[in-house]
Structure 1
Amino acid sequence: MSKRRRIDENEEDGIVSQQKPEDLDQNLPVKVSLPQSLLRKKIETPQAPSVADNNGVLTGISFEQMCDDEGNIIQLHKNTQNALKKMRIQYMTHIQQQTIPSLLAGRDVIGTAKTGSGKTLAFLIPCIELMAQTNWRRINGTACVIISPTRELALQTYSTARELMTEHATLTHGIIMGGAKRDKEADALQRGVGLLVATPGRLLDHLNSTKGFTVKYMKILVIDEADRILQLGFEKELRAIINILPKQRQTMLFSATNISIQSNTKDLARIAIQGKPLEINASELEQKKLQSSSSMQVQEMNSTHSSSSSSSSSSSSSSEATVVGVHQGFIVCPAQMRFVMLFTFLSTMSNIGADKQKKDGKKGKKILVFFSTCASVEFHNALLNLVDIPCTALHGKMKQQKRTTTFFDFCHATSGIMLCTDVAARGLDIPEVDWIVQYDPPDDPKEYIHRVGRTARGVSGIRGRALLFVLPEEMQFLQFLRKANVPIEEFTVKKEKIVDVQKQYESLVAANFYLGRMAKDAFRAYLQAYSAHAMKTIFDVYHLDIAAVARAFGFDQPPKCDLEAEQYDAKNIDINEDDSGDEMDQDKHSIDQKQKSKVRKKKQSQMNNNNNNNEQQQQSESESDNIIDGQRGHQRPNNWMRKKEIQQRKRQGKFGDSHSFSADNPYGRRSSDDKRQFK
C-alpha cells in the first residue's frame, strides 16, 4: 500500500523530510598511471575531514588531497586552485574523485552520476589543466570542444568554465550556439578559442563553412548529456562532427542516466571513442560502499534490530535513482480538475511564501512547472498572470535573448514560478528550487529523473520536493517509476482546501478572444503530444475523455482536433531552427515507429487507390475516343484532348485564376456564368 500524506501549509508544505545516509565512505580511486609532471612525492593519504553534506554528494576529500591509486598526490595548477577557492569549492564529489585522476592521465571516460553531483567540474578541470600544462596559445586553435544539447545548458557550462579560467590570463574560451550572431562567432573562432562550448547544429555549421576555424590540433572532445543529444535527433550531426575532428584525441561522455545500457548511445560511444573507454558509474560505486559499511556496522552491533533497520534504510536510499534530498509524490487528479488543482497548489504556495517573507523575512517559494508543449506553456503563462499569479515562461520557440534573460533572472531570484518545457529538464543548475511540478507526464522514467534533478542540487543541503499530476488511467506509469528506483508516494489534498474556479475559468477563456485562441492551440498540442507519447500502452489518446480534457483548458465543448501523426503543428514540438544550422534543442516528441509505419502504409494504400482510379478513368476515356474516332482508324492521345479543352476555355474566358483578355474582351470582364467570389 502506498503512503498517503496531505499537502498543508501548517506542515511545512505538507511534506515530511526523508532521512539521509551519513558518513559516506570515499570511493576507491581508478587504477591508472598519471604523468610525473602532475605528481608530488608519495605520502600517506590524509584522513578525510568531517564535512556537513546534507545531500550525500561530497566525499570529504579536498582537491589538494586528490591522489591516484598508489597514494601520489595530484597537484592541480596553482591558478586552477585559486579559482576553486574563489568559487568556494573545497571538497570533491564522488564523480569528481573517480573521474578526474583518470581524465588527467588521458583516459577516455564514460561517466554516469545523479543530477546535481558535479559532473560539469569533472570534465572542465581536466580540460583547463591540459591547456595550462601545455601553455596553449591562440595560434594553436581550439584545444577542447564541449558539446551541450541545449542553449541554456551551454550557457551554464560556459559560465562555470569562465569562472574557472579567471586566473588563467593566457587561456581563451568561447561559446557558439543557435540564436546568437554568427559573424561575431566566426571572428572569435578565426582569432582562436582554446576552450569552446557549443551546441551541435551551430558547431557543425562553423566546421563546414568558417575559414580559419582550426581544430587539427584539438586534444579533448566532451559530449555532455549524450543520450539527450541523440534523443533530439542530432545523430547525423554528431557523426559528421566526429568525422571532421582529429582521430587522435581524448573523449569524454557524461550523463545522469546510464549511457552504456542504451543502444543508440552505445553506437555513439563506439564511433567517438577509438579504444576501450573507462566506464564509471558513481551511483553504483557509492551504493557498494554504503552496503559494505552498513554490513560492518551490523556485525559490530551484534545484528541488533535497530542497526539492521538503519543499515537497510541507508542502502535503499543510496540505490534511489534520484538524489536523497528530494521528497517525491503524486496526485491522482481527474482530467477536468487538472487546472483547478494546479491553481490551488500555486496560489497556496505563493501565499505561503509571501507570508513567510513578511513574518520571518525568509525567501518565498521557487517553483518549476513542466509542460509537454510550447503552446501549453504560453497559454498557462498568460492565464496565470491574468489571475494575479505572477510567473515566467521558458520554452524552445522563444527568441534567444528572451530565453537567456528569463533563465538568468529566475536563477538569481529568491522566489517565483517558471513554466517550462523539457528545455529546462537537463543539466541546468537553478539555485534553491523548492518544488518541481510535472503538470504533464514525462515521456519515460528517465525524463522524470532529469526533471526532478532540478531541485536539491549540490552540497548546500537544501531540501527539494516533487509533485506529479497523474490521471486515473495513467496509474500504471507509477510502476515503471518504482522499477527505476524512484521513491514516490501518494499525496492528497483536503476538499476544503481546493479553490473551485472552474466556472470563472471557462467564462474568462470564452470572453477573451486571444486567450481563447491560445487555449485552442494548447488543447490541440496537448492531444497531439499525448498521441505521440512513447509509452502508448499507458498514455493512449483514444482512452482519454476528450470533453474532460477540454474543461482543463477552459472549454465546455472540445474544439476540433486532428490527431493524425503526420499533421503535427509547430506549436506542439519544442524545436529551434534557423538558416544557420541551428539545433532542435528541446522537447521534441518522438513518434512511435509502429505509428509511423501504420500512417505510411495507410497513405501508400490511398495513393495506390487513387492511381488505380486514375488509370481506370484514363482507360475509359481512351476507349470512348476510339469509338468516336473509329472511322478514322487511329486513337487520339490524352494530351491532345487536354489542349483542345484549354483552347475552348480560353475562348469562353474561363481559363486561369484571373480575368482573360482578348480582342473580344479587351477589359477582361468576367463571363456571365462565372460565379466565383474571387478572381
Structure 2
Amino acid sequence: MAATGDSMASTSTNVDGTDNKIEKITFSQLGVIDVLCEACQQLKWKTPSKIQQEAIPVALAGNDVIGLAETGSGKTGAFALPILQALLASPQRLFALILTPTRELAFQISEQFEALGTTIGVKCAVVVGGIDMMTQSLMLAKKPHVIIATPGRLVDHLENTKGFSLRSLKYLVMDEADRILNMDFEQEVDKILKVIPRERKTYLYSATMTKKVAKLQRASLQNPVKVEVSTKYQTVEKLQQHYIFIPVKFKDVYLVYILNELAGNSFMIFCSTCVNTMRVALMLRNLGLTAVPLHGQMSQAKRLGALNKFKSKNRSILIATDVASRGLDIPHVDVVINFDIPSHSKDYIHRVGRTARAGRAGKAITFVTQYDVELYQRIEHLIGKQLPLYNTEEQEVMLLMERVTEAQRYAKMEMSELSNRKKRQKDEDEDTEESSGVRKKFKKKRKY
C-alpha cells in the first residue's frame, strides 16, 4: 500500500503496534491554512492520511488530480480542503460541484464539507433523487457555494430549473468515478461536462482505474497529476477475513448462528437484491434481533432514517444491498457478512472496506454455497490470498433450525402483506389519476 512518489515523512508502525519516531506530517505542512487546520482538529483528524499527503499539495499547486485510493482512505478530505482553501481566497457562489454515485454518499460528503467549513460559513446543497424537485430548486436559487449531486437529478435541474446554471463553476469533483460510470451515468456526465466551463479545476477520485475512467480522464482533465496509494486491489491488514462453505438451504440458520456467536458487535450484512434484504431483516426481527434494511427501493427519508438508526447505535445490524458498499463512513462496524456473494469481485473490496476503518480491527465472513464457488475463487484471485475457513459447530447450528424456520415463515407472510399493500396503493393511485383526468375533460366540455 505504499504511496507512489511518497516524498513526505510519516509515522511508520511496527508489527507490535509501536510507532517509529519519524516526524509526523501535519496539515499545516501540506500547505493548508490555519483556519482549516483548526477545523481538521475539531473533526479529530490528527494527521493527514496517505491520499491526503499525496493529493493536497498537488491540488493546492493548482493541478488537476486523479486520485486512486482504497475505500475509507480519507478521499473526501483530500478534495474538500483544497476547494475550501480556494473558496476562501476568492469567495463565489456556485463555486464547486461534487458528483457522487449514491444519495447516501452525497449527504455524507455534504456533512464533511459543512463540518470543515463551519467557521467560514460554507453553504452546501445536496441534489439527489427521491426528494421534491421544487424544494431543491429553492435551495439552488439561494446559490450555495458547493453542490453535491447525483448526475441524474443534477441534469434534471440543469434542463428544467429556470435560472439555474453552472457557467461560473470553478471546481468539479467526480468521487467514486468508476461507480458513477458503472451505474450507466455516462450520458448524464457528458451533458454536465458540456454546460460547465472548460477553464476549471477537476479532481477525479476512483478506487479503480477502469477503461471508462481513463476515457473520462482524457475528456475532462487538463495535464492531471496522478496520485495513487494502492497499487493493487487490497484489503486492510487489520481485517480478519474468512469464508464459510454451506448448502444454500441452510444460509439463514448459519447467519443466525454467527450473529449469536458474535453478539455484542455491530454487523453489516450484504444481500444481492432489495427483496432478500427485506426478507432477511424481517426474519431477524422475528427472532428478536435489532435489524434495519437499506436498499434502493426505499424512499430517501427511510434510507436516511435506517442509516441514522445504525450510526447512532440504536440498531446493531444493518442489512443492505451494494447501495451501502461504497464510501459510507460508519465508524463502528465490527463485522461484515457477505450473505450473498458479490457478482463483481471488486465489490468485495468495497463491502469489506466498511469495517477495519481508520486503523481499527474488523472481521469479514463470506457465505459460499455450492453455486458460488467460481465467484469466490475470483475474489481470492483478486485479493491475492486464500482465506481461512470460519469454524462452526454443525450440531449447534442445527439446534436453531426450528426457530429459524418459524421466523422465515412469518417473514414470508409479512413480505406477502407488504406486496399486497403496495399493489392496493398503486391501484388507488391509478384510480385517482383516472378520475382526475375525467374531471378535467368534463370541465373542458362545460366551457364550450
Unaligned runs of 5+ in 2: 424-448
Contact persistence 1:375–1:518 (CA under 8 A): no
Taking only the aligned residue pairs, the percentage that are identical comes to 31
Superposition pairs of residues 444-463 of structure 1, within 5 angstroms: 444-458=344-358, 461-463=359-361
In the other structure, the counterpart of 2:227 is 280
Q: Does 1:496 align with 2:395?
A: yes
Q: Does 1:471 align with 2:419?
A: no
More off after superposition, 496-505 vs 337-346: 496-505
- Alignment counterpart, residue 385 of structure 1, candidates 265, 285, 292: 285
Kindly provide the amino acid, as one letter, of the partner of residue 402 in structure 1.
Answer: K
The structure-2 alpha-carbon separation of the partners of 1:83 and 1:52, relative to structure 1 and needing over 3 Å to count, comes to farther
- Cα deviation for residue 51 of structure 1 reads 7.6
In the other structure, the counterpart of 1:325 is 238
CA offsets 1:526-545 (integer angstroms, 9 cap, x no match): xxxxxxxxxxxxxxxxxxxx
CA offsets 1:283-332 (integer angstroms, 9 cap, x no match): 23xxxxxxxxxxxxxxxxxxxxxxxxxxxxxxxxxx66111111111001
Structure 2 distance, partners of 1:27, 1:279, is 10
In the other structure, the counterpart of 1:90 is 46
- Alignment counterpart, residue 97 of structure 2, candidates 145, 155, 162: 145
Structure 2 distance, partners of 1:51, 1:61, is 15
Q: Does 1:160 align with 2:138?
A: no
- Cα deviation for residue 510 of structure 1 reads 5.0
Structure 1 distance, partners of 2:306, 2:410, is 29
In the other structure, the counterpart of 1:266 is 214
More off after superposition, 396-405 vs 480-489: 480-489
Contact persistence 1:55–1:456 (CA under 8 A): no
The structure-2 alpha-carbon separation of the partners of 1:516 and 1:236, relative to structure 1 and needing over 3 Å to count, comes to closer
Structure 2 distance, partners of 1:331, 1:397, is 29
Structure 1 distance, partners of 2:14, 2:332, is 18
Structure 2 distance, partners of 1:243, 1:55, is 52
Structure 1 distance, partners of 2:112, 2:49, is 16
The structure-2 alpha-carbon separation of the partners of 1:448 and 1:398, relative to structure 1 and needing over 3 Å to count, comes to same
Superposition pairs of residues 650-669 of structure 1, within 5 angstroms: none
The structure-2 alpha-carbon separation of the partners of 1:508 and 1:129, relative to structure 1 and needing over 3 Å to count, comes to closer
Contact persistence 2:287–2:407 (CA under 8 A): no
Contact persistence 1:59–1:93 (CA under 8 A): no
Superposition pairs of residues 612-631 of structure 1, within 5 angstroms: none
- Cα deviation for residue 512 of structure 1 reads 7.3
Structure 1 distance, partners of 2:404, 2:379, is 33
The structure-2 alpha-carbon separation of the partners of 1:144 and 1:510, relative to structure 1 and needing over 3 Å to count, comes to closer
* TM-score (normalised: structure 2): 0.86
Q: Does 1:63 align with 2:27?
A: yes
- Cα deviation for residue 153 of structure 1 reads 0.5
The structure-2 alpha-carbon separation of the partners of 1:513 and 1:276, relative to structure 1 and needing over 3 Å to count, comes to closer
- Alignment counterpart, residue 343 of structure 1, candidates 256, 267, 271: 256
Q: Does 1:252 align with 2:203?
A: yes
Give the length in aligned residue pairs.
Answer: 417
Structure 2 distance, partners of 1:234, 1:505, is 41
Structure 1 distance, partners of 2:133, 2:419, is 36
- Whichever of the two has the greater Rg, that structure is 1
Structure 1 distance, partners of 2:114, 2:61, is 24
In the other structure, the counterpart of 1:206 is 157
Contact persistence 1:59–1:94 (CA under 8 A): no
Q: Does 1:427 align with 2:427?
A: no
In the other structure, the counterpart of 2:304 is 404
Superposition pairs of residues 20-419 of structure 1, within 5 angstroms: 28-29=6-7, 60-66=24-30, 74=31, 76-134=32-90, 136-137=91-92, 141-169=93-121, 171-256=122-207, 258-259=208-209, 262-273=210-221, 275-284=222-231, 321-350=234-263, 353=264, 365-413=265-313, 416-419=316-319
Kindly provide the amino acid, as one letter, of the partner of residue 212 in structure 2.
Answer: N
Q: Secondary structure at the match of 2:162?
A: coil
Structure 2 distance, partners of 1:165, 1:49, is 28
Kindly provide the amino acid, as one letter, of the partner of residue 80 in structure 1.
Answer: L
Contact persistence 2:284–2:290 (CA under 8 A): yes
Contact persistence 2:341–2:375 (CA under 8 A): no
Kindly provide the amino acid, as one letter, of the partner of residue 45 in structure 2.
Answer: I
Contact persistence 1:173–1:195 (CA under 8 A): yes
In the other structure, the counterpart of 1:484 is 382
Contact persistence 1:369–1:439 (CA under 8 A): yes
- Cα deviation for residue 482 of structure 1 reads 2.7
Structure 1 distance, partners of 2:355, 2:407, is 34
The structure-2 alpha-carbon separation of the partners of 1:514 and 1:79, relative to structure 1 and needing over 3 Å to count, comes to same
Q: Secondary structure at the match of 2:190?
A: helix
Structure 1 distance, partners of 2:102, 2:18, is 27
Structure 2 distance, partners of 1:499, 1:149, is 41
The structure-2 alpha-carbon separation of the partners of 1:406 and 1:55, relative to structure 1 and needing over 3 Å to count, comes to farther
Structure 1 distance, partners of 2:18, 2:65, is 25
Contact persistence 1:456–1:464 (CA under 8 A): yes
Kindly provide the amino acid, as one letter, of the partner of residue 395 in structure 1.
Answer: H
Structure 2 distance, partners of 1:148, 1:116, is 15
Contact persistence 2:68–2:230 (CA under 8 A): yes
In the other structure, the counterpart of 2:413 is 514
Structure 2 distance, partners of 1:105, 1:79, is 19
* TM-score (normalised: structure 1): 0.58
Q: Secondary structure at the match of 2:24?
A: strand
The structure-2 alpha-carbon separation of the partners of 1:401 and 1:320, relative to structure 1 and needing over 3 Å to count, comes to closer
- Cα deviation for residue 468 of structure 1 reads 0.4
CA offsets 1:529-580 (integer angstroms, 9 cap, x no match): xxxxxxxxxxxxxxxxxxxxxxxxxxxxxxxxxxxxxxxxx9xxxxxxxxxx
Structure 2 distance, partners of 1:52, 1:108, is 35
Contact persistence 1:332–1:471 (CA under 8 A): yes
- Cα deviation for residue 128 of structure 1 reads 0.6
Q: Does 1:440 align with 2:340?
A: yes
- Cα deviation for residue 454 of structure 1 reads 0.3
